[in-house]
Amino acid sequence: MVKHMTKHFFNANNFIIIFTILFAILFSMLFTPHAKANSLNATVDRQNIEMGDVFTLVIQADFATSSSPDFSELEQLFEILGQQRSSQISIINGVSQVHVRWDLRLTPKIEGKLTIPAFELSGVKSQPINMSIEPFNLNKTGKGLSFLESEISTNTPYVQQEVIYTLRFFHRGLLVRDNISPPIFDNAISQPLGNQVTYETKIDGFLYRVFEWKWAFYPQQSGEQILEPQTFIGQIRYNGKIIRIKNHSQPLQLNIKPIPDSFPKNQIWLPARNIVLAEEWQHDNSPRIGDSITRIMQIQAEGLQASQLPQLSLEPQANFQHYADQPILENKASKKGFISQLTQKIAIVPTQAGNLTLPKYQLIWWNVITDEMVKEELDAYSLTILDSLNKANIELNQAENPIPAIAKTENDTIPIPTKNNWLWQGLVILLAIAMLLSLLAWLKCRKTLAKLTEKPSKQILKVEPKSSSLDKLASIAAEFEKADQDLQQQLAKQFYSQLNSWLQEQANRAELEKAILLPLEKIKSSLFNQTDLTANDLTDCHKLLVENLHSSKQKDKEDKKNKLDPLYGGT
């Protein structure tokens, strides 16, 4: 019986069934996922690179994490130009798998054998990576792939003389990214000279693209001065790879000369390349007493700011009065420097008939090209002034029609009204009361208008942008009013330096400088020791800046509000 059952169990059909079951068990065991240890891998696309090369570091974790690796040790050897994190979740046969990845674009900071450190996340570490960094060497030219150079128009200027600072950046290949800051001129007034210029030039047979910037600055102190090197940082695509560059210009030394002893102490110091004086007269052919005679005087200077030019005036005389308009100041940039112009309009009103002679005008300046003192003069101007037309007509009428004398008797008296005196006296009193009430009403309206006009300005000052530089300007202006004369000069320099630094950061610098032209020129003129400065000049400058920024923001809001949306969702 047992033998029969054994035979039946191990027949061919049963054997196939058993084999199929065993095979299914083995197959399921083979492909069933087992618990696997977490891993963190780091890889690079290149291990042997040159200085300036950009390579990619990839860090990948096969487990979920909300943390990121610590890159502080990595940043000591490499600059991180960009990084990106991504996550991926995959589900296979109902089992989920998570991958977290970090992609970093790096460039080396130093040469030699470097090691990318191991990274750690959730107790899991990656392996360190060895790197070989070779120096970048462009053997075909000694100038290299890029370089930065600077120069000045003169190394031995006089104090307050214009010096032109030129900065040029040369590069081959395609400039991908750039960063350069404007130079800082200590103890000097500075002004950008035109816009950026771009051109191409060949050096050692290789074509370079050139970016050129120019500034005009005016040293305020004599002695030695060093202009610090400038730095250009960027990236260039060259021969199919992106190369990080960092170039420095050379430092420049100046020996600033004081005002020469031969220059008159009572004259305003004007170091220039050239100065031209001109004038124009506007009057009738036969001017009379009370007529307006206009004298337009003009100074044009090469190598000076308009704020350095002296205001033109006339010496007062007994036979005329004169009234001067606000001078018109202009600055124009040229390749050699600034050309400034001051135009002064003076109205002269004769008060006596006869010969009127206006004395000559003399201007003394220093020619920095020939290194000598020069005198410019406007000749004396003479006019014959006639009596006023009304007086002449009266005298002529009296000569032609003399007034007959009236004989006066002893009984001649002036009649005095005796009746109805109370009527005209009452009218006079009523008229006086009406005038008094009108005056009181006018004063009340004036106060109301003054309050109304004050409110907008206060409101504008409250809209002042959150800018530490503008806050600093307001603080300096407030401190200036309470300071003594020596401290005021230092505060004026601080105000101008702070203002100039803030303006350099603004995209609409030209528009802002135009808005604050008058107070800005007063500040410059004070720094050139031409005129005295008041706290109101600083306050006005700050107030105009705030108002201009406020109006610009309002205009931007209105433009955005009035802008129509695209019809089909396009941009």
Supply 149's token pair: 């150079």
Task: Give the residues across from 274 on adjacent strands.
Answer: 302
Residue 106: closest CA among 94, 92, 96, 116: 116
CA 457/CA 416 separation, integer angstroms: 60
Cβ(352)–Cβ(319) below 8 Å: yes
Place of tokens 């120096």: 135
CB atoms within 10 A of CB 486: 8
Cα angle, residue 167 at apex, residues 162 and 168 outer, rounded to 5°: 145
Cβ(61)–Cβ(88) below 8 Å: no
Supply 250's token pair: 């050379």
| Segment 386-429, tens digit of pLDDT | 987 765 554 545 555 554 544 444 444 445 444 455 666 777 77
In the prediction, which pLDDT does 36 show? 58
CA 475/CA 481 separation, integer angstroms: 11
Residue 294: closest CA among 324, 326, 330, 328: 324
In the prediction, which pLDDT does 560 show? 54
CA 267/CA 373 separation, integer angstroms: 12
Spell out where 33-145 has E strands.
40-44, 48-50, 55-61, 78-92, 95-108, 112-116, 120-121, 124-125, 129-134
pTM: 0.59
Place of tokens 């007269």: 281
In the prediction, which pLDDT does 142 show? 56
Please identify every stretch of the chain with a pLDDT value under 70, giving residue numbers as ranges.
Answer: 1-36, 94, 136-142, 390-424, 445-469, 481, 485-486, 489, 504-505, 507-510, 513-514, 517, 525-533, 535, 549-571
- Please tell me the number of Cα atoms within 13 Å of 324 on its side-chain side: 12
In the prediction, which pLDDT does 22 show? 54
- Cα distances from 453 to residues 450, 522, 543, 546, in angstroms, run 5, 26, 15, 17
Buried b (16+ CB within 10 A) or exposed e, 514-541: ebbbebbbbbbbbbbebbebebebbbbb
CA 329/CA 521 separation, integer angstroms: 8
Supply 222's token pair: 């004599």
Residue 473: closest CA among 525, 523, 538: 538
In the prediction, which pLDDT does 561 show? 53
Task: Name 353's Cβ contacts closer than 8 Å, sequence gap at least 6.
Answer: 288, 289, 385, 386, 387
CA 511/CA 544 separation, integer angstroms: 12
157: alpha, beta or left? (left if phi > 0; alpha if psi -120 to 50): beta
145: alpha, beta or left? (left if phi > 0; alpha if psi -120 to 50): alpha
In the prediction, which pLDDT does 81 show? 84
Cβ(515)–Cβ(549) below 8 Å: no
| Segment 479-502, tens digit of pLDDT | 776 777 667 767 777 777 777 777
In the prediction, which pLDDT does 443 show? 73
Task: Give the residues across from 158 on adjacent strands.
Answer: 257
Cβ(116)–Cβ(104) below 8 Å: no
In the prediction, which pLDDT does 134 show? 86
CA 281/CA 346 separation, integer angstroms: 10
Cβ(263)–Cβ(374) below 8 Å: no
CA 270/CA 277 separation, integer angstroms: 14
